[in-house]
Structure 1
Amino acid sequence: MMAATHDERRAAKPRLTDIDLYAWIAQAEAGDALIYHCGFLVVDADIAISTLPADQRKVLRGVADAAFRAAEQGLVHLVQERLGTDRFAYIAIARPRPKAAAASLSSLLLEAQAA
């Protein structure tokens, strides 16, 4: 087996899509955690400096944007764990469901995506 290069280790291929993230949020219990990216997100998602192919970078940007929208809606906490130099695990932690009966999870996510 061939060893990964520095760039391959730093910029891992996105493992999930924004839809995967939303599906996880919909079924997650408060306190559940999901690593949605390992690498250096700001670099990996940037068009000018990322080493990812364009299609993978676009998927990663979608996941990152979806995670941010979910955090803005109070559905997840976003945290990072340092794995090494310029390498982090980006983690979404499910929060307790909103108490407002009229606010369904799907409507909150659709609202956030439209914004």
Structure 2
Amino acid sequence: MVPGEASILSNLRRGALEYCVLALLQGGSRYGLDIARTLTRDSVLMSGEGTLYPLLARLRKSGLVQTTWQESAAGPPRRYYALTDDGEHALAAFTRAWHPFRDAVDATLEQRAGLT
């Protein structure tokens, strides 16, 4: 990674990670480790599991997700996270804002690339 790249990636993650979690929950409830595995798959969205559980706790406290405990055949009970109606609304608002934002960033970067 180029110097400064880690800081840029950290800032980008900070703004989008909670909405990525909400998007993963849109298809149904999931347990924490499953969410973590999905988000760390390529180390771009999340580099390790350590940031996920505090984020999930914040999402729960803010009413965007709800939790339930379910028995597991593979070990102790697991906490499953599911999207609430408020979480659905927050994800929809982010999606409406994200697409034009992403397109504007892409257009600016492409325009800049054309100047060099």
Q: TM-score range by the shorter chain?
A: 0.3 to 0.5
Relative to total residues, which structure has the larger helix share, 1 or 2? 2
With structure 1 as the length reference, what TM-score do the two structures score? Answer: 0.40
Question: Which structure has the larger Rg?
Answer: 2
With structure 2 as the length reference, what TM-score do the two structures score? Answer: 0.40
